[in-house]
Structures are given as C-alpha cells and as structure tokens.
Amino acid sequence: MADQQQHQQQQPIMKNLHESSPSTRQIVRFLTAATIGLSLLVLSGLTLTGTVIGLIVATPLMVLFSPVLVPAVITLGLLTMGFLFSGGCGVAAATALTWIYKYVTGKHPVGADKVDYARMRIAEKAKELGHYAHSQPQQTHQTTTTTH
C-alpha cells in the first residue's frame, strides 16, 4: 500500500516534468538557429578582418597612384552620370510620346481626364478674354472721342 502511494505521488511529478521539458524538435530548432547565428557572426568578423587587411595593403598603392586615380574616378563618374542622365531623358521622352499617341488615338491613358478638364478651362478663359478684349477697344475708342 505504501508502495502504491509513492507511485501515485511520483506520477504527477513525472507528468509535470515531462510536460514542462522542451521537445526534441524544439531543441533541434534552437541548436540549428544558434549554429546559423554563430556562423553568420564568424563570417561577418572574417569579412571585416579581410576588409581591414585589404585597406592596409591597398593604402600605399592608392597614395602612389592618387594623381592618376582621382581624375580617372572623377572622369568615370561624370561619364556614368552623363550616360544615366541621357538614358533617363530617352526613357522619359519615349514614355511621353507613348502617352501622347494613346491620347490622340482615342485610348484613355492615365491622366487624360485631367488634361481634358484643363483644356476646357483654358478654352473657357480664352473665350472670356476674347469677349473682354473685343469690348475693350470699343470702350477706349468711345472715351477718346468723347474727350476730344
């Protein structure tokens, strides 16, 4: 009987211990993550070390060749920027011409409704200014004849 009571008392303790302990899958996940993390840390340290050693070795060469390298880098930079700018202008022109072609052929490109609205507003203002300008010379002509 005492043996049975000890067994019943140990059973909940073992059950709680088994439930709170991590599973094998969780342990493997943790070890995998730790291994990958440490590998990346070591790799970043090696990369930093290699970069510093490369700079130490290359510094005397850069100092010796700087009268040639600095103008060459500036020239290459200007050439690169010029090609990129001209290419960007070409892309912008092709895009604008494509949009205009779609607009003229009756397709409805993005922003066409705004262009139509602006065209209507300009036409209205031009008509108003036309009426105003048409009436102005008559008023000026009338005021000059009445004052003489």
Are 13 and 62 found together in one domain? Answer: yes
Inform me whether the pLDDT recorded for 145 exceeds 80: no
Are 61 and 107 found together in one domain? Answer: no
| 5 or 42, which is more confident | 42
Q: With respect to residue 43, please indicate whether it lies within any of the assigned structural domains.
A: yes
Are 57 and 107 found together in one domain? Answer: no
69 near 62, Cβ under 8 Å? Answer: yes
pTM of the model: 0.43
Give the pLDDT of residue 15: 52
Q: With respect to residue 50, please indicate whether it lies within any of the assigned structural domains.
A: yes
The pLDDT tens digits for 76-122 are: 999 999 999 999 999 999 999 999 999 888 898 999 899 889 999 99
- Report how far residue 140's alpha carbon sits from residue 142's, in angstroms, rounded to the nearest whole number: 5
Token output for 95: 């895009």
- Report how far residue 44's alpha carbon sits from residue 3's, in angstroms, rounded to the nearest whole number: 60
Q: How many domains does the chain have?
A: 2
Q: With respect to residue 76, please indicate whether it lies within any of the assigned structural domains.
A: no
- Report how far residue 124's alpha carbon sits from residue 132's, in angstroms, rounded to the nearest whole number: 12
The pLDDT tens digits for 36-89 are: 888 888 889 999 999 999 989 988 988 888 888 889 999 999 999 999 999 999
Q: With respect to residue 54, please indicate whether it lies within any of the assigned structural domains.
A: yes
Q: With respect to residue 29, please indicate whether it lies within any of the assigned structural domains.
A: yes
Give the pLDDT of residue 135: 78
Give the pLDDT of residue 139: 59
Q: Which residue pairs, CB below 8 angstroms and at least 24 apart, start in 130-134?
A: none
List the domain range (segments joined by +) for residue 127: 103-148
Q: With respect to residue 80, please indicate whether it lies within any of the assigned structural domains.
A: no
Q: Using 50, 70 and 90 to split pLDDT, how confident is the model at 13?
A: low
| 2 or 42, which is more confident | 42
Token output for 143: 């005021």
Q: With respect to residue 86, please indicate whether it lies within any of the assigned structural domains.
A: no
